[in-house]
Amino acid sequence: MNDYEVDNLTEARALLKEIVKLYNKERPHMILGMLTPELVHAESLKPKKVWKNYYEKKPDIVNLDQDNQTTVNLLQY
């Protein structure tokens, strides 16, 4: 992996912008069927699931009442 050295925040932001562009627009992802995230999103594609879930689903640990609870804005006090 290449090392990058930046001298200031402006350079760091520019480098990060290029890295994110590479990741989303140019680099194919195996989990997306070797497509780029940008292409999958733009075309509303549904890539074939290529991974396995080894974890057993446990629906009983979900709080079924969580959607019925009232929320409180603590910033109002």
Q: Which helix (H) or strand (E) holds 12?
A: helix 9-21
User: Does 22 reside within a domain?
Assistant: yes
pTM of the model: 0.54
User: Does 56 reside within a domain?
Assistant: no
3: left (phi > 0), else alpha (psi -120 to 50), else beta?
Answer: beta
User: Does 2 reside within a domain?
Assistant: no
User: Does 76 reside within a domain?
Assistant: no
Using alpha carbons only, give the angle 21, 43, 41 rounded to the nearest 5 degrees: 45
Residue 38, domain extent: 7-50
User: Does 41 reside within a domain?
Assistant: yes
Into how many domains does the chain fold?
Answer: 1
Task: Give pLDDT tens digits for 5-32.
Answer: 899 999 999 999 999 999 999 999 988 8
CA dihedral sign of residues 53, 57, 63, 65: positive
What average pLDDT is seen over the chain? 82
User: Does 45 reside within a domain?
Assistant: yes
Selection from 63, 32, 55 nearest residue 45 by Cα: 32
Check: CB of residue 10 under 8 Å from CB of residue 4: no
User: Does 21 reside within a domain?
Assistant: yes
